[in-house]
Structure 1
Amino acid sequence: MSLWPGYTLYISNDKYTFVPTATAAGSRPLQKFVIDRLANTLHLFPVAAGEAVPAHEKQFHVHGILGIISLHTTDFVIVITNCKHASTLLGADIFLATDFRLLPISADARPSLLRHPIEKKLIRLVKEQLYLGPLYFSYEYDLTSNIQRQVKLGTDSSAARVPLWKRADPRFFWNYHVQQRLMEHSNTHPDEDLSAFILPIMFGFFSTKQANVNGRDFLFGLIARRSRHRVGTRYFSRGIDDNGNVSNYNETEQFIVVDAPGRPAATRMSYVQTRGSVPVFWAELNNLRYKPDLLIPEQPGALSAIRKHMSEQVTLYGKNYLVNLVNQKGYEKPVKDAYEKAVEVLGNPLVQYVYFDFHHQCKGMKFDRVALLVDRLEELGLTRGDYFTLDTTAAPHVHLQKSVVRTNCMDCLDRTNVVQSTLARWVLTDQLRAAGILAPSERVEDHAKFMHMFRNVWADHADVISKAYSGTGALKTDFTRTGKRTIEGAAQDGINSLSRYVKNNFFDGARQDALDLFTGAWDPKTQLPYPDTRAWQVRLMPWLLVISTVFIVLSLALPPVAPHEYQVRAPIPIFPILWVLVAAGSVVYIWQHGVQYVSWPTLNNPERLIHYDGPGYYSGRRGRKGLTAPASKVKAE
């Protein structure tokens, strides 16, 4: 069942009425979706031929309903008010949502009520999340599911009648939480099934390119789907939770579609990889240092959590090759050791652990040495022919991908993307040979024009995933784009690294709050934002630093006072020296109390981790001078 592709929204004081555009009706009976603002209830009504336009004060066109979210004082319906066409995939149009509106459902939601300090903050967070990253949708195609999953679910007419939201992969159904009311209403009121109005959204990356190799045209595509579970920002979301969900989990699907004479999309091939944080309990606690404090707490549920994660991985993808790219020396080593210990204790025969010291092996920017990792994976049983194929050219057949490579580094961003793009290129050579586009002796690397496009798509993919997690574009993308390291690329990496430091310490708290609110990890009906409980002198120091800096600048910029005619020497510049001492003292104080100057999340504040002093590994406790634990302190997360 496809969705209505857009509606006219009629707004009145007592209801919101969504009427599908007349051109979308086709043979399906036209229905309207009504939200009663007085009773806060949902209804579905048929639209009779020639029915009058509902009474309204305002009206405008919307492209889709994201869902309904409950905030502090009222519920809001979220709608897409603008979008742009991204591509056409297998006959279905794909759109990128570009603008949104939040409409209060309560008829009593006056402007003064919406200016309530908590409600105002939550509204701002929802809007921030909506514009945070690329949100893609389709009225017909299931963007949340890879091609293999869609085929396994069925492509016959009965499967096509299943509503899009029921076919969607719940991991990548980004607006699953805010669509809960519509889905529950459809399940409990079969006579008022709202399925044609429930629009699944995918947060991630989507790109398709028309390609030509050896005179053969085909569609090349890359999709990255971001999981809505344990979603967060770089330093505020690490490792695994009790349910087996890991931070920064993404499924990346590379695919090609080849037409045959008189048979569009006759051959479809896809290759799926996953990435996700090291699946053990660990955290990095910001303290204004470039390297945060690393914490690996010992918790009784650690083995159960990784068992759940790997069980799901095996169930969904088959055999897993776990490629670990963290350093085997220094700061990152404890994370590597914890991961290896967990996998060893797990003892799952369908989970194959592979370690590759990326920084050592690729020292001097020799990223082509990732080929050594590919060779190692081949020795362990991975084949370049293990990908999905649906071929309808002659005797129709389906070949399933039976394994997956799960790659991680510390952030699952930069090193991970170099490895994933290398594996994708390795498999693509075999796919194009099987499709008759490449000769048995050819490789994709032999075609410069195609490789230029391939590298840039993968670099764009890296930037999108990186911005969603770290706040900046990916590092090392000059190699991904050009196949070599450049001075400009190294300089850009330096800028991105500095930008990450600033954003991760001073701005990511709000981004984390926005993600927790939209995905349902924090409940505004039962919880309140975490208050600022810092001592007055802690709050004062940044202001002293700013004021002293202003006075220092003024003392240097203004002309000096001429010495008195009876003085032999100019007076000692006491004023600027005083403010230099104040500034220095402020900097020292802030550095010693660094943890208290980090922009922590205020919804799900990680105070338990900040004050954790139980068993486990600690890289240090820097920037914690004067930090006192709250009365509610516990020893485990």
Structure 2
Amino acid sequence: MKSIHERLNLYTNEDDSYIFVPAEPANAGPLVVHRNSGDIVLDLPSSAIPSSAKRYKKTIYGIYGLISLSQSEYLIVITGRELRGHLLGHPIYRAVDFDILPVRPGLSVAKPSHPVETHLLALVRSHLNSGLFLYSYVFDITRRLQAQYVAREGDDRKPMWETADDRFFWNKFLQSRFMDISISDPKNDLSPYILPVMNGTFDARTVMVDGRKLHLCLVSRRSRFRAGTRYFRRGVDHDGHVANFNETEQIATIPSQSDPNAVATTLSFVQIRGSVPVFWAEVNTLRYKPDLQIMDLQGSVNATQRHLQEQVSLYGDQSLVNLVDQQGYEKPVKEAYERNLAKADVPQVKYRYFDFHNECKHMRWDRISLLIDHLTEDLLRDGYFHLDSNYQDPVKWQLGVVRTNCMDNLDRTNVAQAAIARWTLDLQLKAAGIIGQKGAVDQHEEIDVALREMWSDHADYISKAYAGTGALKTDFTRTGKRTRQGAFDDFKKSAIRYLRNNHFDGARQDAYDLMTGAWVPRKGPSSTLFLIADTRPLILRAVPYILTFSLFMILAGLTLPRTSDYSLVYYFALWLTLVVLSTIFILVHGLDYVAWPRLLPLTETIHYNGPGFRSGHHGTGLGLDFGKLKSGVNAQWMTRGFLRSDKQVEEIELGAKRHVD
């Protein structure tokens, strides 16, 4: 596989060009980005750096990509990295610092000339700063080991961007310009500058087991398709892509006893998770439990079928483990899943339901072993990937996977996957002769602790990316016990999730859609003015201010000097009445006070009125019938697709011009 330049020196030739010169090898051709024309070319190795060019203050560790916003294209470069560990001897890095360079001359990233560009750049920065972006210059971290082994002969002369798994090549959209140039003009091959980056987790640890060294790795790869946040990306799309899809690979390597630097045995086990593959959503209304919505669209069964067929083609047999509750709020999701599965009738798919909350109630989470008992036959059939240096061919192949889901594919799913992975590692180490046939991983404290910490950290990372907080129930994953302190920590995390999911995730979802190419801005800020305008009716915008001011006045009345207590009775009665009325109004109009995504508004989902199921109170925060205040009127400002009136556009443009002046 062709390698990628690890260090680049950047020279800026005033407003004319950016010149990326590889630190090594010395004879590599520099990459030149001409700022006036936007052309990207590979210069000859002998090309001299212009005398007017100035060396950039930071070392560049890779080009993340090129993104086009409303006023200019921008180069995103990696200026900081940290070593996360090694996988089969190859270093794996995390990108921890980025710089954004405007291609168009005369523009400033620090002080954009238009508020729309300021907003879009803020989305880019927030996404880069909040993600866990992993990469390697010589090893394809986007593909599981078995897939790399199968394709090893054909990959030898290909660049990494051609071999990377399309689902987990997170910055593929931002690298598309470089890839198109490489394909259309082989003499202008930019492959050494195209760095595939994965969004996910990576953890590596070394432990001792009965005097033998064992290297453990846990890798999770997050799909770029249908990517997003907890309540704004649910279910499946028409192409069969599901929300929060993650492939998790647990790897164990055993060094040779004769040569500690050589790997004698490689063991890999893969699991997957993803949202229930039906058309469903949870519509936020400011209540703790959103409105659950099942949408029986015409292509629902086809979408489920496409998803499962893709998984079978990629991984083999599918053991579907569903942890959704069979009673109460979650029941309709379970029923819709089972209904679509029966109609889709995909071969090599076996469905298993496990009533997690009922089986593990009263903090008896050790009873997750019951799920393992149900899955034992499938796990033995599907196997795992096993390479031994003494044999030319793999000792064992993994012929299928367990696909686990709960509602969020986070907390219950983490517990189940960790238990399945531990059971499989026990089987693998016995087959490799590391532990005896009557032994167990649990009997070796060092490996037991490492596994618990790795899976708990992994759970937290995935949960933060999707829900905004660390995972729930990690006290069990870390210690093997469910504790009261853990339950209290889960309560705090749930409260933070509520605030984030209702009031902050709209912008996070916009950042996902912008960076993955789900939404592409047009040239000219006027086409994107809806990002910085609040088009809700005046009454909706005014009520939170009335509530805030009323609370301030009550606080002032309690703290400021007073002439008589009697004179304050009517004062407090007035402001308390306003507080109560404002609060009721906000709760009734819950839909209108959720921070919805703006780039790809969920208008059709919010106002869906077709066949299916809708729980809750159809958008009213209190669940009361207030006539016209019901969801039939709530959030109607969204049905216009964020189109703005000419007067509003004119006002915003005038404000932007004043900002520039």
* Preserved contact between residue 101 and residue 109 of structure 2 (Cα < 8 Å): no
Q: 1:628 to 1:494 in 2, by over 3 A?
A: closer
Letter in 1 for 2:468: G
State yes or no: 1:164 paired with 2:171.
no
Q: 1:609 to 1:427 in 2, by over 3 A?
A: same
Q: Which residue of 1 aligns with 2:289?
A: 291
Q: Which residue of 2 aligns with 1:606?
A: 602
Measured against aligned partners, the alpha-carbon deviations of 1:518-538 in whole angstroms (never above 9, x if no partner) come to 000111027634653211010
State yes or no: 1:311 paired with 2:309.
yes
Q: 1:111 to 1:432 in 2, by over 3 A?
A: closer
* Preserved contact between residue 320 and residue 406 of structure 1 (Cα < 8 Å): yes
Select which of 345, 348, 371 maps to 2:346: 348
Q: 1:461 to 1:54 in 2, by over 3 A?
A: farther
State yes or no: 1:420 paired with 2:420.
no
State yes or no: 1:179 paired with 2:171.
no
* Mapping 1:570-581, distance limit 5 Å: 570-571=566-567, 573-581=569-577
Q: Output the CA distance in 2 between the equivalents of 1:254 and 1:112.
A: 42
Q: 1:108 to 1:633 in 2, by over 3 A?
A: closer
Q: Once the 2 structures are TM-superposed, how far is the Cα of residue 577 of structure 1 from its aligned partner?
A: 2.0
Moved more, 522-531 or 498-507: 522-531
State yes or no: 1:254 paired with 2:254.
no
Q: Output the CA distance in 1 between the equivalents of 2:97 and 2:307.
A: 35
Q: Once the 2 structures are TM-superposed, how far is the Cα of residue 109 of structure 1 from its aligned partner?
A: 2.6
Letter in 2 for 1:107: P
Q: Output the CA distance in 2 between the equivalents of 1:43 and 1:87.
A: 34
Measured against aligned partners, the alpha-carbon deviations of 1:474-499 in whole angstroms (never above 9, x if no partner) come to 00000000000122211110000000
Q: Output the CA distance in 2 between the equivalents of 1:387 and 1:63.
A: 35
Select which of 69, 72, 79 maps to 2:70: 72
* Preserved contact between residue 203 and residue 226 of structure 1 (Cα < 8 Å): yes
Q: Which residue of 1 aligns with 2:457?
A: 460
| TM-score computed with the length of structure 2 as normaliser | 0.91
Q: Which residue of 2 aligns with 1:508?
A: 505
3-state secondary structure, aligned to 1:18: strand
Q: Which residue of 1 aligns with 2:335?
A: 337
Select which of 237, 241, 245 maps to 1:241: 237
Q: Output the CA distance in 1 between the equivalents of 2:440 and 2:380.
A: 16
Letter in 1 for 2:556: L
* Preserved contact between residue 174 and residue 227 of structure 1 (Cα < 8 Å): yes
State yes or no: 1:189 paired with 2:190.
no
Q: Which residue of 1 aligns with 2:94?
A: 96
Q: Once the 2 structures are TM-superposed, how far is the Cα of residue 108 of structure 1 from its aligned partner?
A: 4.0
Q: Once the 2 structures are TM-superposed, how far is the Cα of residue 367 of structure 1 from its aligned partner?
A: 1.3
Q: Output the CA distance in 1 between the equivalents of 2:635 and 2:282.
A: 19
Measured against aligned partners, the alpha-carbon deviations of 1:533-576 in whole angstroms (never above 9, x if no partner) come to 2110100011111111111111112233247xxxxxx4452212
Q: Which residue of 2 aligns with 1:567?
A: none
3-state secondary structure, aligned to 1:397: coil
Q: 1:631 to 1:282 in 2, by over 3 A?
A: closer
Q: Which residue of 2 aligns with 1:132?
A: 130
Q: Which residue of 2 aligns with 1:537?
A: 539
* Preserved contact between residue 172 and residue 202 of structure 1 (Cα < 8 Å): yes
3-state secondary structure, aligned to 1:203: strand
Q: Output the CA distance in 1 between the equivalents of 2:231 and 2:635.
A: 22
Letter in 1 for 2:370: L
Q: Once the 2 structures are TM-superposed, how far is the Cα of residue 630 of structure 1 from its aligned partner?
A: 5.7
3-state secondary structure, aligned to 2:173: coil
* Preserved contact between residue 317 and residue 382 of structure 2 (Cα < 8 Å): no
Q: 1:46 to 1:173 in 2, by over 3 A?
A: same
Q: Once the 2 structures are TM-superposed, how far is the Cα of residue 88 of structure 1 from its aligned partner?
A: 1.9
Moved more, 326-335 or 131-140: 131-140
Q: Which residue of 1 aligns with 2:117?
A: 119
Letter in 1 for 2:435: L
Q: 1:75 to 1:442 in 2, by over 3 A?
A: same
3-state secondary structure, aligned to 2:599: coil
Q: Once the 2 structures are TM-superposed, how far is the Cα of residue 450 of structure 1 from its aligned partner?
A: 1.7
Letter in 2 for 1:3: I
Measured against aligned partners, the alpha-carbon deviations of 1:486-513 in whole angstroms (never above 9, x if no partner) come to 2221111000000000000000000000
3-state secondary structure, aligned to 2:174: coil
Q: Which residue of 1 aligns with 2:45?
A: 47
Q: Once the 2 structures are TM-superposed, how far is the Cα of residue 164 of structure 1 from its aligned partner?
A: 0.8
Q: Once the 2 structures are TM-superposed, how far is the Cα of residue 373 of structure 1 from its aligned partner?
A: 1.2
Q: Which residue of 1 aligns with 2:646?
A: none
Q: 1:111 to 1:199 in 2, by over 3 A?
A: closer
* Preserved contact between residue 186 and residue 194 of structure 1 (Cα < 8 Å): yes
Letter in 1 for 2:131: G
3-state secondary structure, aligned to 1:455: helix
Q: Which residue of 2 aligns with 1:566?
A: none
Q: Once the 2 structures are TM-superposed, how far is the Cα of residue 180 of structure 1 from its aligned partner?
A: 0.3
Moved more, 522-531 or 199-208: 522-531
Letter in 2 for 1:10: Y
Letter in 2 for 1:597: Y
Segments of 5+ residues of structure 2 without an aligned counterpart are 621-628, 642-661
* Preserved contact between residue 207 and residue 215 of structure 2 (Cα < 8 Å): yes
Q: Once the 2 structures are TM-superposed, how far is the Cα of residue 419 of structure 1 from its aligned partner?
A: 0.2
Q: Once the 2 structures are TM-superposed, how far is the Cα of residue 359 of structure 1 from its aligned partner?
A: 0.3
Letter in 2 for 1:25: P
State yes or no: 1:2 paired with 2:3.
yes
Letter in 1 for 2:205: K
* Preserved contact between residue 472 and residue 496 of structure 1 (Cα < 8 Å): yes
Q: Once the 2 structures are TM-superposed, how far is the Cα of residue 587 of structure 1 from its aligned partner?
A: 0.2
| Backbone CA RMSD of aligned residues | 1.8
3-state secondary structure, aligned to 2:610: coil
Q: Which residue of 2 aligns with 1:390?
A: 387
Letter in 2 for 1:402: L
State yes or no: 1:627 paired with 2:623.
no
Q: Once the 2 structures are TM-superposed, how far is the Cα of residue 161 of structure 1 from its aligned partner?
A: 2.2
| Identity %, equivalent residues | 45
* Preserved contact between residue 324 and residue 356 of structure 1 (Cα < 8 Å): yes
3-state secondary structure, aligned to 1:581: helix
* Preserved contact between residue 211 and residue 450 of structure 1 (Cα < 8 Å): yes
Q: 1:583 to 1:209 in 2, by over 3 A?
A: same
Q: Output the CA distance in 2 between the equivalents of 1:422 and 1:141.
A: 29
Q: Which residue of 2 aligns with 1:517?
A: 514
Letter in 2 for 1:542: P
Moved more, 335-344 or 301-310: 301-310
Q: 1:171 to 1:628 in 2, by over 3 A?
A: closer
State yes or no: 1:210 paired with 2:206.
yes
* Preserved contact between residue 17 and residue 54 of structure 1 (Cα < 8 Å): no
The count of aligned residue pairs is 620
Q: Once the 2 structures are TM-superposed, how far is the Cα of residue 395 of structure 1 from its aligned partner?
A: 5.3
3-state secondary structure, aligned to 2:469: coil
State yes or no: 1:615 paired with 2:622.
no
Q: Output the CA distance in 2 between the equivalents of 1:63 and 1:513.
A: 27
Q: Output the CA distance in 2 between the equivalents of 1:150 and 1:631.
A: 46
Q: Output the CA distance in 1 between the equivalents of 2:108 and 2:637.
A: 37
Moved more, 66-75 or 575-584: 575-584
* Preserved contact between residue 207 and residue 446 of structure 2 (Cα < 8 Å): no
Measured against aligned partners, the alpha-carbon deviations of 1:140-176 in whole angstroms (never above 9, x if no partner) come to 011111111111111x5x6332101111001000101
Q: Output the CA distance in 1 between the equivalents of 2:140 and 2:473.
A: 32
* Preserved contact between residue 9 and residue 61 of structure 1 (Cα < 8 Å): yes
Select which of 529, 551, 554 maps to 1:552: 554
Q: Once the 2 structures are TM-superposed, how far is the Cα of residue 365 of structure 1 from its aligned partner?
A: 1.4
